[in-house]
Amino acid sequence: MEESPFVFPDPKPYRGRWHEVFGNTRPIYIEVGMGKGQFLTALAQLHPEINYIGIEKYSSVLVRALEKLEELRLPNLYLIRMDAEELTEVFAPEEVSLIYLNFSDPWPKDRHAKRRLTSAAYFDRYNQILIPEGRVEFKTDHQDLFSFSEASVLEAGWTLELSTRDLHHSPYAQGNVMTEYEERFSSMGNPICKLIASRNGTAGKSAKPPESESAAGEQRIE
Ligand SMILES: C[S@@+](CC[C@H](N)C(=O)[O-])C[C@H]1O[C@@H](n2cnc3c(N)ncnc32)[C@H](O)[C@@H]1O
C-alpha cells in the first residue's frame, strides 16, 4: 500500500495542492470513512468531471478499496489514510466542494458524542475546508444518530437542505448510489435516512448543479 500511486499515507504535505495532484481544477469531493470504497469507485466512474478522495482511518480496510482501484485505475480517485480529526491539516480552506458521510460509526455513548462525524465540532472542521456553497451529504440507518445529526447541523448554524428518513421510498431515491453498508442494512428492511447540509442555504443556489448521486437539485425538507 505504501508504494501504491493511488494512496497517500502521509497526506499533510499536499495541503492546498490537491488540484495539482489531480492535474486539473475540477471540484474535489471527499468521502470521510469510505470503508471498502464501493460508493466512491461507482461515483468516480459515473462522474469523470469530478475529482474524488476517499478517506479511511484503518489500513486494513483501505487496502480493500485499493484492490478495487488497482483494478479500475481511475484517474479521478485517490485514497488517503488518516483520521478525520486531522481534516484541516490535510485540506486548505475552500479546497473541497462536497463531503460525503456514509453510515458513520454511531458512537452511542454520550461521552463519545464528539467522535461522531456529524457532531458540531466536525461541522466546524467541514466549515474550514469547504467552498462557500459546499455541502455535507450524510446517509445512515441509525435513527438516533440521524436525530443527533439534524440537531448538530442547526447547532453549527448550518441549513438543512434535505432531510428524509426513508430515502429509498422518496423522490430522492432516483440516482442514489448505494454504499456497502446501505445495501446490507436496506436488505434487512431498515429505512435509510439522508440529510444534506449547507451554510446559509447556499447549496441549492450553487452556480453548478450538484453532481451527487442524489436528485439534490430538488432538495427540500420533508
Ligand atoms: C460503518 S463503516 C461505513 C463504510 C462506508 N462508508 C459504507 O457506507 O459502506 C465506517 C467507516 O468509517 C471509518 N472511520 C471511522 N471513524 C473514522 C475517522 N475518524 N476517520 C476516518 N475514517 C473513519 C471506519 O474505519 C469504517 O471503515
Q: What is the CATH number of the domain that holds 132?
A: 3.40.50.150
Which amino acids are annotated catalytic? 105
Domain that holds residue 116: 7-218
Confirm whether 1 is domain-assigned.
no
Confirm whether 86 is domain-assigned.
yes
* pLDDT reading at 215 higher than 60: no
Sheet with 158-164: strands ordered across: 7-8, 77-81, 51-56, 28-32, 96-102, 130-140, 193-199, 158-164
pLDDT band of 3, cuts 50, 70, 90: confident
Confirm whether 87 is domain-assigned.
yes
Ramachandran category for residue 59: left, alpha or beta (phi over 0 → left; psi -120 to 50 → alpha): alpha
User: How far apart, in whole angstroms, are the C-alpha atoms of residue 168 and residue 41?
Assistant: 21
* pLDDT reading at 29 higher than 80: yes
Confirm whether 50 is domain-assigned.
yes
pLDDT band of 206, cuts 50, 70, 90: very low
Confirm whether 26 is domain-assigned.
yes
User: How far apart, in whole angstroms, are the C-alpha atoms of residue 115 and residue 127?
Assistant: 17
Instruction: Give helix then strand counts, H and E, for the chain.
Output: 7, 8
Whole-number pLDDT of residue 177? 98
Taking the CA of residue 182 as reference, the ligand 1 atom at the shortest distance is 8
Q: Looking at the chain, list the stretches that DSSP marks H as alpha helix, in order from N- to C-terminal side.
A: 18-22, 38-46, 59-72, 87-90, 120-129, 143-155, 180-187
CA 117 to ligand 1 center in whole angstroms = 9
Taking only the tens place, the pLDDT of each residue in 67-78 is: 999 999 999 999
Answer yes or no: is the C-beta of 27 below 6 A from any ligand 1 atom: no
pLDDT band of 4, cuts 50, 70, 90: confident
Confirm whether 2 is domain-assigned.
no
Count structural domains, the chain. 1
Taking the CA of residue 61 as reference, the ligand 1 atom at the shortest distance is 27
CA 35 to ligand 1 center in whole angstroms = 5
Taking only the tens place, the pLDDT of each residue in 94-129 is: 999 999 999 999 999 999 999 999 999 999 999 999
Cell of 2: 505504501
Confirm whether 178 is domain-assigned.
yes
Closest CA to 56 of 9, 115, 19: 9
Mean pLDDT of all residues in the chain?
91
Question: Hey, what amino acid is at 24?
Answer: N
Confirm whether 189 is domain-assigned.
yes
Out of 117, 125, 192, give the residue to mutate to test ligand 1, the one with the largest number of ligand atoms within 8 Å of its CB: 117
